[in-house]
Amino acid sequence: ESALRHVKILEEYDFNDIVISLKSSDVLSSIQAYKLISEKVDYPLHLGITEAGTPLYGTIKSSVGLGILLYEGIGDTIRVSLTGDPIEEVKVGIQILKSLKLRKTGVNIISCPTCGRTQIDLIKMAVEVEERLKHVKKPIKVAVMGCVVNGPGEAREADIGIAGGNKKVAIFKKGNIVKTVPEELAVDELVNEVLKMTD
């Protein structure tokens, strides 16, 4: 109601260069407020969950709140608010957009949770692959999977990936194994193959 009242005041003065922000620290209140106002006005909406909290909780709240609204076609700009480095806010915002296919640039890393079949240092490898490919602008889906039993099949939609074995790692493209390398060379080989795809 307050936002609509202010919009009407601006319109009475023939001022229509308006962007509306209804940010709240409560996710459900934010979603409901943005849904209501999107039904009543055509002005651009700036989405955000304000004072969302520390990086972990703030990322979760922002992802849920912004993700729901963006999925429903509500919102024109976003702001992720975290207690921490503003660069992390930008990174989270980019990932929210990428997860909804609203931003189609950069590498999309998919990786499985570890399980009893994992025989490689999957977590370390996934983090290293993500770090070494963060500069790539071309949209490429890269998988880092823990085992060759399920890895290539589960990640067959990936453009390229690795799947761990007993001191060996399979490199696969679109679910088909193309070569096997020693575990210690796996990340280098994967990164090199991805970089070839960007040429």
Task: Quote the percentage of the chain above a pLDDT of 90.
Answer: 80
DSSP 8-state class, residue 24: B
Q: Flag the least confident range among 62-76, 80-94, 157-171.
A: 157-171
Q: Which of 99, 133, 166 is the last residue of a domain?
A: 99
pLDDT at position 186 is 95
- What letters, b where the CB count within 10 A reaches 16 and e where it falls short, cover 17-37? eeebebbbeebeebbebbeeb
Q: Are residues 16 and 84 in the same domain?
A: yes
- pLDDT at residue 88, as a whole number: 96
- Say whether both 93 and 155 belong to one domain: no
More confidently predicted of 114 and 84: 84
User: Do residues 189 and 171 lie in contact, with contact meaning Cβ atoms separated by under 8 Å?
Assistant: yes
What's the confidence (pLDDT) of residue 155? Answer: 80
**pLDDT at residue 132, rounded to an integer:** 97
Is residue 1 over pLDDT 90?
no
Distance CA 154, CA 80 (A): 31
Burial class of residue 146 (count of CB atoms within 10 Å of its CB; 0-12, 13-18, 19+): buried
Q: Which domain holds residue 135?
A: 107-197
Arithmetic mean of pLDDT, 106-111: 93
C-alpha torsion angle, residues 129, 103, 177, 191 (rounded to 10): -30
pLDDT for residue 73: 98
pTM for the full model? 0.85
Q: Is 67 in the same domain as 126? A: no
Say whether both 112 and 166 belong to one domain.
yes
Give 27's pLDDT tier (boundaries 50, 70, 90).
very high
Q: State the total domains in the chain.
A: 2
Q: What is the pLDDT of residues 141-184, one digit of tens each?
A: 999 998 877 777 878 889 999 998 888 999 999 888 899 999 99
CATH code at 190? 3.30.413.10
